[in-house]
Amino acid sequence: MYNSKNSLSQVVFPQNLIGNTGLIMALMMAVLLLHFIVSFSSKTTDISTDRSTLLALKAHVVSDPRNFLTTNWSVDISICNWVGVTCESRNQRVIALNLFNMSLSGTIPPDMGNLSFLTWLNIGYNNFHDLLPVQLTNLYRLKFISMSDNNFHGEISSWVGYFPELQYLSLSNNSFTGPIPSDMCDRLPTLKELNLSDNKLSGKIPIGLFKCKGLQNISLDFNSLEGILPEEIGNLTMLRTLDLRGNQIQGRIPVTLGNLRDLELLDLSNNDLSGTLSSSERSFLSSLANCSRLTALAFGSNPLISGYLPPSIANLSVSLQYFDASSCSISGSIPGEIGNWNVATYLDFSGNHFSGAISDRVCNRNNDLRYLAVNDNQLEGKLPLYLTNCSELVFLNVADNNLSDTFPHWLGTLPQLRVLILRSNRFYEGEIPDVFGNLNKLTTLDFPGCNFSGQLAPSMFSLTQLTDLALASNRLEGPLPTHVTGFQNLKVFDLSHNLLTGEVPSWLFTLPSLEYLYLSNNSLTGPISQIQKPNSIQVDDLADNDIHGEIPSSFFGLSKLTYLDLSSNNLSGIIRSDMLSKLQSLETRDLSTNNFSGVINLDVPSKLKNLTEVNLSNNKLRQFPSFLRSAKSLRSLDLSNNKIQGSIFKWESEGWEQLIDLNLCNNSLTSLEQFSGKNILFLDLRSILYSKVLFYLRHLHCKNS
């Protein structure tokens, strides 16, 4: 083929033709014509090949909801003007294909291997699936490949060929299986970034991977890799990011990590790695003092990492912002030297065996700290007042320790605070001060089991961003307010196991976001008020109070309820099947130990299909609740200690194939026909007056009274 790079000045004519001007001109015109024909023919073929390849890809796309390809990839438009397509300006060959985040679904055709000038391929964040074609190995000019966040599967080695210029490879968030190819660096000698996270890869990290001397970022997180982390990792001296979290890598963490002087992020969390931290011997932690650019270090959730954090931890990079040592087996005290990390924003020491007091130097020099978790240790003493220096603190979790203090009133001076968790400590009995007025960003208040007493702080009920309020198992008293100005985003309201009195306020059932309500084991009284605008609550537990009266009809407008427990109160009246059937999402219903006196059995076909557990024991019912025959998923039914009389007929229990637990003891039944359920494992018929019982059971079990 004629080389288009040659110019006419390079064409050599025979010496005997130089004097013949006419002939020379004719030859020159012939050469020009030949150049035009060959060049045009070549370019037409190339454009045609690329066009047919892209049209083949379009044909393999089965869903294009945003019409990117449907309306734009048309034969009437030059492919160089198609969305996502970039052509080389001189020869009009396709050099880049960027279909990132176009919501496309389909497969990759073998024709893709014909885009021989392609250097950039990005089809990430779509829904492409199936195997990748081996013909992709023909694209030897590729420098960038991103196929992340799709549904590809198969082994990587089946299609990764020799890409001598490839620098970036991302296959994250797919379903690739098998090992990482041991010869990957022989195939990809110029690779700088490798992202294989969130797949199903297995096997060991191949030593051959460390031949890619130019690697700067490695992400292998959330796979099923095993074996050790080879010491050869220290050979990748240009490495900036190493993310291996969420695998099953074992063995000691190599000290050769200290050779990676450009390292910025190291995440080894959620593995089975081991190591002993101390000041007397060199560990991976002490070796990382060489990594002066380190900004993020995480080795949490490796239970075999033990020892203690030495004061020399202060030698870690002054640029350190993120430190996670959670859920290991580290003991001793949390060294105050962490206060030297004056730009740290995230510190997690939770789930270890730390003891002693929280150092008052934590916020000595650090005013940027936003996240501090020291929960699930054996820490003692008081919360240090110096935490007020951390004015940007957003998250504070000190739960499950042995802290002893009154409620730290100074917490009200942290205006950025959103999550405050104090649960299960040994706080002195005393009131929760009314300090929440300035904490208008709070989303979580979690104080169960803290010995707090007295009445609830009024400013709590003005918090508009709060999603979780958990104050269970304290000694809080007094009534709940009759109205609130906040709680627009509240999802969880848990004040169970306290000493609250007064009525259950109706506003609880009208909060627009409430999903879980727990007020059991208090001393609440009065009837349940009518509900003006029922909300989407899913769990309602008012058990073990002194609530009386009838259940108001508006209560059954809580159509999203899945769990209802009103047991151990003084509720009375009639249980109406037509009312209960409105709670079509209900799975568990406990109305036991009340004063309900009867049942109105109206037919409610197919409206109780989700109901699995019903407890109506210890009431004054006289009729069998035959409307429950529409509860085809029922597994447990307790009607014990009532006054049910007469017979229970077969038709009244039709469809109870799932029933495994039936308690009818202490009633006045005289006849019990065969039940349709064949899986009953637990049956209690004690103290009933029956003359005829026909059951086909695998096992008979009488419960103790």
**Token digits of residue 284:** 């991976």
- Residue 503's contacts (CB-CB under 8 Å, 6 or more residues apart) are 479, 524, 525, 526, 527, 529
- Per-residue pLDDT, 697: 40
- Per-residue pLDDT, 702: 40
Q: Is the pLDDT of residue 73 over 90?
A: yes
pLDDT classification of 673: cutoffs 50, 70, 90 = low
% helix, strand, coil for the chain, step of 5: 20, 25, 55
Report the alpha-carbon angle 556-636-538, nearest 5.
Answer: 35
Distance of alpha carbon 583 from alpha carbon 607, whole angstroms:
8
- Per-residue pLDDT, 627: 82
Q: Is the pLDDT of residue 460 over 60?
A: yes
Q: Which has more pLDDT, 266 or 580?
A: 266
- Per-residue pLDDT, 675: 60
In Å, what is the CA distance from 258 to each residue of 301, 305, 322? 21, 18, 18
Q: Determine the average pLDDT of the residues in 426-444.
A: 94
pLDDT classification of 699: cutoffs 50, 70, 90 = very low
**Average pLDDT of the residues of the chain:** 89
Q: Is the pLDDT of residue 7 over 70?
A: no
Q: What are phi and psi of 248, to 5 degrees?
A: -125, 40
What per-residue string of b and e applies to 164-178 under the rule 16 or more CB within 10 Å gives b? eebbbbbbbbbebee
List, in sequence order, every residue forming a beta bridge with 307; answer none if it has no partner: 277, 330
How distant is the alpha carbon of residue 147 from its chain centre?
A: 22
User: What does the chain come to in residues?
Assistant: 705
Decide if 74 contacts 94 (C-beta within 8 A): no
The DSSP secondary-structure symbol of 492 reads E
- Per-residue pLDDT, 23: 46
Distance of alpha carbon 266 from alpha carbon 244, whole angstroms:
8
- Residue 582's contacts (CB-CB under 8 Å, 6 or more residues apart) are 556, 557, 559, 607
- Per-residue pLDDT, 701: 42
Distance of alpha carbon 74 from alpha carbon 22, whole angstroms:
48
Which residue, among 142, 149, 197, has the nearest Cα to 166 in the 3D structure? 142
pLDDT classification of 533: cutoffs 50, 70, 90 = confident
**Token digits of residue 90:** 């001189």
Distance of alpha carbon 587 from alpha carbon 624, whole angstroms:
20
Q: What percent of the chain has pLDDT over 90?
A: 74
- Per-residue pLDDT, 477: 97
**Token digits of residue 108:** 């990759």
Q: Encode pLDDT of 622-669 as tens digits.
A: 988 888 888 889 999 999 999 998 877 665 666 678 889 989 999 988
List, in sequence order, every residue forming a beta bridge with 499; answer none if it has no partner: 477
pLDDT classification of 387: cutoffs 50, 70, 90 = very high
Among 45-49, 455-459, 467-471, 546-550, which stretch is predicted with the lowest mean pLDDT?
A: 45-49
- Per-residue pLDDT, 632: 85
Report the alpha-carbon angle 247-317-345, nearest 5.
Answer: 75
Q: Is the pLDDT of residue 39 over 90?
A: no
Which residue, among 325, 473, 439, 147, has the nearest Cα to 457 in the 3D structure? 439
Instruction: Please say whether the dihedral angle defined by the alpha carbons of residues 623, 629, 631 and 635, taken in this order, is positive or negative.
Output: positive
The strands making up 499-501's β-sheet, listed across from edge to edge, are 430-431, 452-455, 475-479, 499-501
Q: Encode pLDDT of 118-168 as tens digits.
A: 999 999 999 999 999 999 999 999 999 999 999 999 999 878 878 999 999
Q: Encode pLDDT of 293-319 as tens digits.
A: 999 999 999 999 999 999 999 999 989
- Per-residue pLDDT, 676: 56
Q: Determine the average pLDDT of the residues in 36-64.
A: 75
Can you give the C-alpha Rg of the chain in angstroms? 36
CA atoms within 13 Å, Cβ hemisphere of 211? 13
Residue 281: what residue type? E
- Per-residue pLDDT, 5: 37
